[in-house]
Structure 1
Amino acid sequence: MSSLSDAVGSIVVDAAGDRVGVVTDSDGDRLFVRPEPGALDAVASKFGWMEARRDAYPLAPEHVATAGGGTVRLRE
């Protein structure tokens, strides 16, 4: 993947490989992730997604372990 903007539409999985959302947008520095129903509570505090419910939440590059092949894998 040449840049984070290429990740739009990718499935987001946690370090264990469980699906937690999908990338809906990128601003060049961050990805925006729409969480799967039920996954928000599991990852919200880890990534600072504690503000009011939103359609998509920002994900900083330091939280991404790998990105490519239609999948973004998060760090532990």
Structure 2
Amino acid sequence: MAEFSEDDEGKSVVADGEEVGIVSEVEHGTAYVDPDPGITDKIKAKLDWGERDEDTYPLQEQAVDSITDDEIRLRSNL
């Protein structure tokens, strides 16, 4: 099972080889994904300047296949 940390903020979320969003914030072990990030959102997430808003969604741990240094890969059988 995936465990999210603040180190995951700013990582790309990838499904079937395509970026579907970025992790904008991790709070209490829950990663929140911005599904339509602009370059400003990516920079803010990397610098921990962002905040969760109505356009972010919690990422379910069971949906994660793997976590690398740069991205979070989702399971292909979702």
Q: Give the structure-1-normalised TM-score.
A: 0.65
- C-alpha deviation, 1:4, in angstroms: 1.1
Which residue is 1:29 aligned to?
Answer: 29
Match of 2:64 in 1: 64
- Supply the distance in 2 between the matched residues of 1:20 and 1:61 (Cα, whole angstroms): 16
Query: Residue 51 of structure 1 aligns with which residue?
Result: none
C-alpha separation in 1, matches of 2:23 and 2:58: 10
**Are the equivalent residues in 2 in contact too, given 1:7–1:68 (CA < 8 A)?**
no
Alignment of 1:1-76 (within 5 A): 3-5=3-5, 6-14=7-15, 16-36=16-36, 54-76=54-76
Percent identity, aligned pairs only?
35
**Superposed displacement of residue 36, structure 1:** 2.4
Unaligned ranges ≥5, structure 1: 38-53
Gaps (5+ residues) in structure 2? Answer: 38-53
Q: CA deviation at 1:26?
A: 1.1
Query: 1:24, 1:64 → 2: CA distance?
Result: 16
Deviation at 1:29, TM superposition (A): 3.0
Distance 2:30 2:63 in 1: 10
